[in-house]
Structure 1
Amino acid sequence: MSVYRYSPLKRRIGANSIRLLRLLPNEDENAMIECQLFEYFFPDPDTGTHLYEALSYVWGDPQTNRSRILLSNCPFGVTANLHAALSRLRNRYIERVIWIDAICINQDDLEERGYQIQCMARIFGKAKCVIAWLGESAVGSDRAIEDLGIAADKSLATPPMTAELRDNVLGLIQRPWFRRIWILQEVAAARQILITCGRAQIDGYTFCVGLQRFNFPYKEFATSQSLIRLVAILINQAIFRPRSTIWWSGRTSLKTGSLVELLDMYHAHEATERHDKVFALLGMSCDDPIAAGLSPDYEVPWAKVFMNLVLSIFGKTLSIKTLGNGEVAVIEA
């Protein structure tokens, strides 16, 4: 059986192209995951959402715990967390169309990765739903989601605060998904968010309302609250974003704030590559990344990206040297 090989994305005048994934159905939940890729074009101008879903998730270590799926009848390796998500999302009778970065982008093609990153805000903004995959169920996670749904319903009494309830909810919001830097842009663009943990699901807005109605002891909740507070704000706003937005060709941005403001708010979030600490925020920034020399390009060494970032913040008349493999910048004015 041959290994899957990507075909280059085609370019059309006045349209951006991406790949979408067909997740094929199977009545046997233990059967091997089978998928197909096809190319999809966004027309310009473009209004409304499209009939596909987008997956927001944590990759996990790509070097360990690899699982195999069939992609157009060819073996294809995915991380254990993505395999679990595909297993839960697969329908018994009908196919689902989903955008998943690890499969829909040729990760070995650095030029394509850079180009697709510039489309990320549009990809998630045009999806009919963004699925936030927190991972498989763990002790108390199903009960936490159920209690959050009850708390969000004003017609029902908020469940009493108990040690078990507190631990269940804290265990849920301490999942790695809330600390991942790429999820910021993904939820900031989404029109609808469905938070999924194992078989349990809850609407993103309901999740945030339920979380707000619980009166957690501050000392026990403070660390987790600081990690997810700004993420929860982005999730909470999803239902208020316009359903019909015009997107033009070229770079798309959500214009959430300046790059400096975004870095200040979200610098503690985690990334697999240091480049992502910057590139993940460009689609939310109202600044022009090209003028700052910060276009997504993984072939540019991190030290150069870091230097351009510092120059874009403090001005290009400064003298800058990077030390410690690009971890420290020395600025001379």
Structure 2
Amino acid sequence: MSSSHFYTPLQTSRTKELRLVTLLPAPTKDATIECTLSIGNLEDRQLHYEALSYEWGDINSPKHEILLDGQPFTVRRNLWQALRCLRTEFAARTLWVDAICINQEDVLERNHQVGMMSSIYTFASSVRIWLGERGGNSREAILLLHEIWESFREVSRPSKEVVEKKKAPRKKLAENAEPATLTGSRDSFKKLSVFPIHRGEPFESSRELLVQERRVGWWNRLSLRSEPVAPWEGVAALVERTYWSRIWIVQEYLLASETVVQCGWDYMDGKRFDEAVSIVGELFELRKADHRQPAPLIQNCLERIAKSPGIKIPRSRVSDNQRTLLELMETCRTSKSCDPHDRIYAILGLADDIPPAAILVDYERDIFKVKVDVAWWYSTRSGLKSHPASVSRVCSLLDEIFVDCEDEE
């Protein structure tokens, strides 16, 4: 049965209208999920909503019914689970959820809304990053990431003092640094089992002192979590989840002003999550640079985390560098999407070097013509006219991106 009867048409001509879904409260977790639809406008600066970033899931995944304006409406399991965990007991919640708020059967509306996607996630009061149901030690992982972030915050405070006094003599720096974060107590070193710390190494500069201070501070604190290994395995599993392989989440994640990362009923402030995951990646890099070997099980987890798709996006958010379309195509060339058009349309809003109207979103356009649109823009823009190698790389990337577009998301 068509779902179009749920939707009042949007004014797509020169407007920024969008639909919002209100998730109604319920007294119990197992109560039927009930929602209502309304229409808003992004030009209204009083508009308040949360945007949901999630994985649609395989087209053959189990379906669940919710009530949308009192009528049965079918959603895939992952979205149903997200709504169930986001629902509160007493307060309604206003959300933007693409599978509900966009009439997927109306191509013109879909073109219009996808063209607004970067604005939708930019203007959202918060973006809820839904990683899926609880499992694979996910609860322990989030608790560990909280602990890592707290350790980082504690270590960063004295580090800033050291930076401010970087012109002071080396001996003075050592005197001003807090002992627990610079060298650690004797008992701390006895407990340390994730990484062996080599003391007595000469410092060539205050920068090295700062790095050593951070390293010892992090490792001393994290050593307490070396056993059991389950939390570390949980972090690895969390950043290996298929959510991170979706092409759309790159834009949804990076454009958000504020994020909350949620897995089942457990959640964490997005900025803290980004920093904690980046710290774990830094631990792996420090291990390689210093030829230090953690306990084998911890080392395996760190290697998995460092190679996972889920560490790249949080690190990008922390670095906040400008991104070109070519760089985004390189980064996202293996990301998955249900519709092959999204291999390009999902990253247009992130590219800092391409005007908003340079490549128009059109889901009825032949894929070959989409490739031509991108290649033509690159070959005619002034910055690349004299760089045929870059244009050639763009064409090669387009062939790679569209070579095998699987029907999954």
Aligned CA distance change for structure 1 residues 237 and 23 (closer, same or farther; 3 Å):
farther
Cα separation, 1, equivalents of 2:148 and 2:323: 32
The 5-angstrom pairing of residues 221-300 of structure 1 reads: 221-222=302-303, 224-226=305-307, 227-236=309-318, 256-286=322-352, 287-288=354-355, 290-291=357-358, 294-300=359-365
Aligned CA distance change for structure 1 residues 175 and 74 (closer, same or farther; 3 Å):
same
Could you tell me which residue of structure 2 aligns to residue 105 of structure 1?
A: 102
Cα separation, 2, equivalents of 1:276 and 1:266: 11
Cα separation, 1, equivalents of 2:245 and 2:63: 22
Whether the 8 Å CA contact 1:124–1:189 is kept in 2: the answer is yes
Gaps of 5+ in 2: 156-220, 285-297, 386-390, 405-409
Structure (1 or 2) with the greater helix fraction:
2
Instruction: Please give the TM-score of this superposition, normalised by the length of structure 1.
Output: 0.82
Whether the 8 Å CA contact 1:260–1:313 is kept in 2: the answer is no
| One-letter identity of the residue aligned with 2:7 | Y
Aligned CA distance change for structure 1 residues 117 and 150 (closer, same or farther; 3 Å):
same
Cα separation, 2, equivalents of 1:185 and 1:178: 12
Gaps of 5+ in 1: 239-254, 329-333
Cα separation, 1, equivalents of 2:149 and 2:30: 35
Post-superposition offset of 1:68: 0.8
The 5-angstrom pairing of residues 1-333 of structure 1 reads: 4-10=5-11, 15-43=15-43, 50-154=47-151, 155=154, 157-158=221-222, 159-162=224-227, 163-214=229-280, 215-216=283-284, 221-222=302-303, 224-226=305-307, 227-236=309-318, 256-286=322-352, 287-288=354-355, 290-291=357-358, 294-315=359-380, 327=403
Q: How many residues get paired?
A: 306
Whether the 8 Å CA contact 2:277–2:311 is kept in 1: the answer is no
> Identity of counterpart residues, as a percentage?
31
Whether the 8 Å CA contact 1:187–1:234 is kept in 2: the answer is no
Could you tell me which residue of structure 2 aligns to residue 247 of structure 1?
A: none
Cα separation, 2, equivalents of 1:207 and 1:111: 37
Whether the 8 Å CA contact 1:173–1:224 is kept in 2: the answer is yes
Cα separation, 1, equivalents of 2:235 and 2:319: 21
Cα separation, 2, equivalents of 1:38 and 1:114: 20
Whether the 8 Å CA contact 2:262–2:268 is kept in 1: the answer is yes
Whether the 8 Å CA contact 2:278–2:314 is kept in 1: the answer is no
Cα separation, 2, equivalents of 1:323 and 1:146: 42
Q: Which has the larger radius of gyration?
A: 2
Cα separation, 2, equivalents of 1:115 and 1:105: 10
Instruction: Please give the TM-score of this superposition, normalised by the length of structure 2.
Output: 0.67
| Aligned Cα root-mean-square deviation (Å) | 3.1
Aligned CA distance change for structure 1 residues 180 and 173 (closer, same or farther; 3 Å):
same
